[in-house]
Amino acid sequence: MSAATEREFLLSNAEFDEIRRLVREHTGIALSDSKRELVYSRLVRRLRRLSLRSFAEYIALLGQADEVELEEFTNAITTNLTSFFREGHHFEFLADTVLPALEKRNAGTRRLRIWSAGCSTGEEPYSIAVTLQEAMARFRGWDVRILATDLDSNVVAQAQAGEYKAERFEKVTSARRDRWFDATHSGTFVANAALKSLITFRQLNLMHPWPFRGPFDVVFCRNVVIYFDKETQRGLFDRIAEMQRDADHLFIGHSESLFKVCDRYQLIGKTIYRKVR
């Protein structure tokens, strides 16, 4: 049976290529040939919802630069896998090395800024907030803020709500969870006011201009550029470097590297970088 007869809609090679081009243009994400099934299964829901008869009609709608549908389109394409304290060594390094150094370096300004770029449903910025709150004795009276951004407006809304099912806390001890998250009657846990007060959530496409100037003492940009081609990665890390001063830190994802991508950072640990120029 051919793909066309087995399926509700036909996705021709030309249509797949046009969708890939639109994804690249609007998100920076470069989809390989192997992502055809993923594209079909994510977008077929949009076709049904909009009562469209073909991918050609859907592409035509996107071509009209329909802002609402472009947002749904990018939301459908992004992959939002995340967890609390993912790549736990980053949070240990933040607590044991970065924060003590910042306590000294920023003693004059008493200001601390951290950016979670590609924050997905919020587990990353809340893990940063827990780490900061647990070190807060060092920073009493300081101006401490975490900026958490993502392209996908759905995940930003979830992150802002900060409500998670119990199973999301697999890597967190119950004592730590109960200290920083309030249990609800429905068995979920909501980030408490101490965590939420540190974080500003914003929808932001990293490919677009950024409405802030930094500087950020620490940037988490983890498991985001894995979907970008090298050229897009180069441009992005160069812009992030512009937002940081020498000796600031950058954390990237476990399968990512700045090797031959950006020479403005020095590798100082497993996927941990310090800005040098």
Ligand X SMILES: C[S@@+](CC[C@H](N)C(=O)[O-])C[C@H]1O[C@@H](n2cnc3c(N)ncnc32)[C@H](O)[C@@H]1O
246 noted as active-site residue: no
Residue 160 binds to ligand X (criterion: CB under 6 A): no
| Residue among 24, 36, 42, 176 flagged as catalytic | 42
Least distance in angstroms from the C-beta of 222 to ligand X: 4
**Which of 9, 47, 55, 120 is the binder for ligand X (CB under 6 A)?**
120
Strands (E), the chain: 111-117, 143-150, 163-164, 181-183, 189-191, 199-203, 218-221, 249-252, 265-269, 272-275
Rounded CA-CA distance 73/153 in Å is 11
**Which of 151, 159, 240, 272 is the binder for ligand X (CB under 6 A)?**
151
3-state DSSP: the chain helix, strand, coil percent, rounded to 5?
45, 15, 35
Stretch that binds ligand X, among 27-35, 53-61, 106-114, 135-143 (CB under 6 A): 27-35
Residue 122 binds to ligand X (criterion: CB under 6 A): no
**Which of 73, 118, 122, 250 is the binder for ligand X (CB under 6 A)?**
118
CB 84 within 8 A of CB 116: no
Start-to-end CA span in the chain (Å): 57
**Which of 35, 86, 113, 249 is the binder for ligand X (CB under 6 A)?**
86
Q: Among 191, 192, 199, 245, which residue's Cα sits nearest to residue 218? A: 245
150 noted as active-site residue: yes
Tokens standing for 122?
């919020």
Residue 148 binds to ligand X (criterion: CB under 6 A): no
Active site residues: 42, 150
Sites of contact with ligand X (CB under 6 A): 27-29, 78-82, 86, 118, 120, 124, 150-152, 155, 205-207, 222-224, 253
